[in-house]
Structure 1
């Protein structure tokens, strides 16, 4: 998500309106045929489809066109962005469904590869995956190895225990135990800025606790081991509907996330053309609306715009 400048960060801390972003991650790794577990959730069992869009398909690199398969790395355990359907081995969620639309537009079979978030970029570099649809924020650092095509805009949030017993806000996180996800944009980019702001104010830095998925972080929060948790807005909103022990106390405006594609693979132009087409279709909005996040829709699939 977007990152405030240090001076802006201090001002936002004082106003208690800043929320920092985090991309989803997961402790599970493997193909989408792995057993469903604690990340399972309910959703319509019908996967979205998209007809082949020839202007995009004809831009595919020869090796992918001949293979006929698009390998997409996607985390799990983060409803509603990605999760297993309850009682099944089928991966669903916003990100898998967007990946299905992209594969369909390119005339390819989608092969979902479940991966820890912090292993996705190395996996793309090692040619284990063709791309990732994982709510990944385009940053200057990530853009050294990946190209990004925007596919939706995602807001950020902060959760605390229900009733907010410590009366926490974004101006009161200095010195607090804050749960974040391993490998996240929040951990690697935003937390250092927050800590600098705390130090400048003469306060202790955040006491960071790292977790492999949001479910673990929420367990730590409700048990009192954590004071607050940062995560993507849709994930937090969903978690709050499932867990009466937590509440969302802060939200931030939407900012783009992108499909990450290995630089130099020749796949960027095809994915860009596919997303340009997908954004004009009813299927795109239907996917987002089916998860109650129609407001996350975008109208332009911008390329390589750092946040």
Structure 2
């Protein structure tokens, strides 16, 4: 059975109000409150009421900054490509234009170590990696490290996240995540979750079962809306994103089953740019060692995804 039209409309409206306007937009969140805590909030809330970690006190590290090539430092700005539909990692604040989230705060912290200004540029997820090294200095957008992606870019790890299935509250369509054949499944384009669902679909067809109705969207907010409104029965996304979406839709949604995996996420860097990769690795490790990194994650309620070592092109790629 499915939700009535009235309930579907209410769910969609709740999502629009909570995510597409207020939040417009891959470890489970430790807290559902992602607004800033105590003295770690940003000083200026005029553009947004969503406040992250205040990076203004982070000092430049001359030794680390000296590692960067002129191609990164010449304009005085660290440009970062991000898909700003992926709360709480990277999304847009209430003004509809200011990037916020724990990835954005980490980007600002890295830039501060380099002594550079930071600019997060909104883009669709699948277009970021091809643009790293040309349009963007870095890509920081919840990228799961995979062998395929490492053929295109180099990576520096900074987080660990699992994947979670999400359905409407009460699972009205009685979806079984272990058997998605014939089910309408929403995923974000270019994600590892989309790859997994595509593989499951091939198995369905090989077994002579109904194909999965895969609804791939450029924006995670559209993925979430599809399930909240009943256009899809289930979505699959990073655990942090899933938990945050449930909170922001007023408990219209719920997780289905246990989190899967727990794989590294990383900063994407132009392939072969060893100087930038080393600088980013050392900057993140410095932030880890001095406690700033953990404070950023805790500000957004995602401290359970913390790691203690930043690695270049880790061996445990998916």
Bin of the TM-score, shorter chain as denominator length: 0.7 to 0.9
**1:249 alignment partner, one of 247, 256, 259:** 256
Length-normalised TM-score, structure 2: 0.79
User: Relative to structure 1, is the Cα distance of residues 197 and 88 closer, same or farther in structure 2, using a 3 angstrom cutoff?
Assistant: closer
Q: How does 1:1-307 map to 2 (within 5 A)?
A: 39=24, 43-44=35-36, 45-46=41-42, 47-49=53-55, 50-87=58-95, 89-125=97-133, 127-187=134-194, 189-243=195-249, 244-250=251-257, 251-265=259-273, 266-305=275-314, 306-307=317-318
Secondary structure of 2:283 counterpart = helix
Stretch deviating more after TM superposition (252-261 or 42-51): 42-51
Tell whether the 8 Å contact from 2:297 to 2:306 is kept in structure 1 after alignment: yes
Secondary structure of 1:67 counterpart = coil
User: Relative to structure 1, is the Cα distance of residues 89 and 166 closer, same or farther in structure 2, using a 3 angstrom cutoff?
Assistant: closer
Secondary structure of 1:279 counterpart = helix
Count matched residues: 271
Stretch deviating more after TM superposition (199-208 or 278-287): 199-208
Stretch deviating more after TM superposition (70-79 or 201-210): 201-210
Tell whether the 8 Å contact from 1:174 to 1:204 is kept in structure 2 after alignment: yes
Tell whether the 8 Å contact from 1:82 to 1:96 is kept in structure 2 after alignment: yes
> RMSD over aligned Cα, in angstroms?
2.2
> How much has 1:88 moved relative to structure 2?
6.4
> How much has 1:197 moved relative to structure 2?
3.2
Length-normalised TM-score, structure 1: 0.81
| Offset from partner CA, 1:176-215 (integer Å, 9 cap, x none) | 010011222222x312321233345442231100112222
Tell whether the 8 Å contact from 1:36 to 1:89 is kept in structure 2 after alignment: no
| Offset from partner CA, 1:220-250 (integer Å, 9 cap, x none) | 2122221110111111111111223211113
Unmatched segments (≥5 aa) in structure 1? 1-34
> How much has 1:149 moved relative to structure 2?
0.2
Secondary structure of 2:286 counterpart = helix
Q: Give the Cα separation in 2 of the matches to 1:223 and 1:86.
A: 22
Unmatched segments (≥5 aa) in structure 2? 1-19, 26-32, 43-52
Q: Give the Cα separation in 2 of the matches to 1:186 and 1:158.
A: 10
